[in-house]
Structure 1
């Protein structure tokens, strides 16, 4: 049984030559002029330089910066740029990839509901809606900082959730994360793979995401779609995630298959998500529909995927209110991730909040942010030279590398497993009588294994 919109709205012009992009730019001007509505967004899904003459002026780049950056990046077309390119700090947001992983916890109450739910299919409705909820945050077009090897991010004081993530490998860049409350545990190993295509970037989520619901011990596994960042240099930068998201109940064999519509011309199909909850026999039980930037709804269906008579479409998730005209397009929760409001007692010195480049960018000092970013990257290279000279291998603190290699749609993945040591550390810190309230900002960011590197 396929998704109800899988064969629709593919984008009529998508397969035509890029010469049509001039036509798209003309349409953009004429439609806006006729309707007098400047907020109407007309998008060429192919991107490119030709259609960007007007749209480019709406971006964050000055023309001279754009031209210079394009010359620098041309040689990387077709490459994985994750760890090859030193990028200018002006394209960054004041957040790291480790914090970005924690954004998935904003709507963690949906996992609480999944754990409390007795209906096995509604359980998947809640859990999949949780997985979709983060895509509103993922549409931001600023780039998070790449974590330094050994860097961590801790989160507490949100819905009873304790979250820890750690940068466990530098080449290739890999992160591991663990979250837990009374209802669920969340474990992820992430190894991003990218492909630079000139004016766009494909981001392949090579990772393994598993959620264990504590009441019944049900294990859910998520495979998300890839993400495309369009118009990196020319035009208005925007994000799309075309393809399938699959969440499987490894305990029962039930699963959800949701299709993320690709964006077509004039924005057709953008944000739309449709699909079904299937039982282990691959029979549709519940249809799901919505937009990943707004809300998701569900309705029981028959064997043909049609809504059951006497039932109605019900909303299961809706995006929370967001700040207006926020500089970095942050949600209220994203701001909390950078604040001490979500920080636990005795914050680790390896925490992303303490990064001097991230903090300088948050305060609007781009020059200092760039200098601090370069300094951290050089210290990381120096530590690697030191480690190699001594024949040592980096060992993560909170996660252990397992022997397991798991296949993904975009390549095999080495799996890191939470070792439980952070839970012990946090319990000891929380029960400590030490009430030192020293300014957290006075803690020097220190992810280094070798102390002399920190002081260079």
Structure 2
């Protein structure tokens, strides 16, 4: 795969962007209401995929045994991730609060499917969030990600599928639906769902967009609003002759969320830095420019370690904008990896001979 399609990150680094809105976990940990905790956890699950918007670059595949560590004292968590399998590629991660108020762990092994002009990534693997203060454990899986127009045209991303968040202590669950774009693009990025108690009774409704925000409202009000909205959509559909291709970029008019009266805002996405387009859209807390600036002004305390990473020189050249040097480094390190694998194979072969001697 040409290196120009990559972004200067390892997939292990990309996973740390789950923690951009860690304050939602801290709010859930300090709340005494189980429904409010579920709202915060659901918002955190939605916010975890928000950084993928307009991120069409592919992160580098980590080496087997590669690790990445991150300590964010300002956000109150420490993180470690490791590539635990190469075929199939499996990345495992574990994060915990500095004050031991939560544990967040899981494994991701994406399943790729090619559909002509689009690529679909199904992120298999269960994600678990533990709140020790309440003795609770929440589990869920991420929605499916699809990148359109991979051959020609403007690249754009959508998330779709069902996400079920389960509180294994109380039996409460949150059933979210990430809606596909559709023909007219009116469902683009929309997220809707309900929080149910253990008897499957609707307690709360959630709605919004994974690229913008998430609201909560009474389920009766939400159902009434959705029925009226459906009738208006049917009238617009009958009066419209527009027919969009499934891979075409939807119009920008569909990028707003209208709050239903009586709604409560749970989460809103953080604005990206001005230079995000130059560093492949990396979110504010992990971009190279922001980290260097923060280190110079001493406003943020952070530590990060990247062990056994062969992509350090490549990502450095990509940040500088030198695609040619980046490509040269990639080809050189491919050869080095083949040489390392050869010597590793010889080493283990000699070890087996030594262990089996004398016969």
- Above 0.5 in TM-score? yes
CA distance in 2, matches of 1:351, 1:117: 40
Q: Does 1:90 align with 2:4?
A: yes
Q: Deviation of residue 391 (structure 1)?
A: 4.8
Greater Cα shift, 161-170 or 370-379: 370-379
Gaps of 5+ in 1: 1-86, 393-456
SS in structure 1 of the partner of residue 125 of structure 2: strand
Tell me which residue corresponds to 1:239: 157
Alignment of 1:243-282 (within 5 A): 243-282=161-200
Aligned residues: 301
1:344 paired residue among 294, 300, 303: 303
Tell me which residue corresponds to 1:226: 144
Tell me which residue corresponds to 2:255: none
CA distance in 2, matches of 1:180, 1:100: 17
Asked if structure 2 preserves the Cα contact closer than 8 Å seen for 1:218 and 1:250, the reply is yes
Q: Deviation of residue 201 (structure 1)?
A: 0.6
SS in structure 1 of the partner of residue 282 of structure 2: coil
SS in structure 2 of the partner of residue 289 of structure 1: strand
Tell me which residue corresponds to 2:58: 143
Change (3 A) 1:170 1:301: same
2:22 paired residue among 93, 100, 108: 108
TM-score, normalised to structure 1, is 0.61
Change (3 A) 1:138 1:194: same
Asked if structure 1 preserves the Cα contact closer than 8 Å seen for 2:63 and 2:309, the reply is no
CA distance in 2, matches of 1:300, 1:389: 66
Asked if structure 2 preserves the Cα contact closer than 8 Å seen for 1:245 and 1:258, the reply is yes
Q: Does 1:293 align with 2:243?
A: no
CA distance in 1, matches of 2:121, 2:213: 24
Q: Deviation of residue 265 (structure 1)?
A: 3.3
1:129 paired residue among 43, 55, 62: 43
Q: CA RMSD in A?
A: 2.5
Asked if structure 2 preserves the Cα contact closer than 8 Å seen for 1:220 and 1:248, the reply is yes
SS in structure 2 of the partner of residue 276 of structure 1: strand
Asked if structure 1 preserves the Cα contact closer than 8 Å seen for 2:285 and 2:291, the reply is no
Q: Deviation of residue 262 (structure 1)?
A: 0.6
Tell me which residue corresponds to 2:334: 377
Change (3 A) 1:172 1:385: farther
Q: Deviation of residue 321 (structure 1)?
A: 1.6
SS in structure 1 of the partner of residue 188 of structure 2: coil
Q: Deviation of residue 360 (structure 1)?
A: 1.0
Change (3 A) 1:260 1:185: same
Tell me which residue corresponds to 2:270: 320
Change (3 A) 1:128 1:380: farther
Gaps of 5+ in 2: 226-260, 296-300, 350-359
Tell me which residue corresponds to 1:200: 118
2:94 paired residue among 160, 178, 201: 178
Asked if structure 1 preserves the Cα contact closer than 8 Å seen for 2:203 and 2:219, the reply is yes
Change (3 A) 1:242 1:107: same
Change (3 A) 1:286 1:274: same
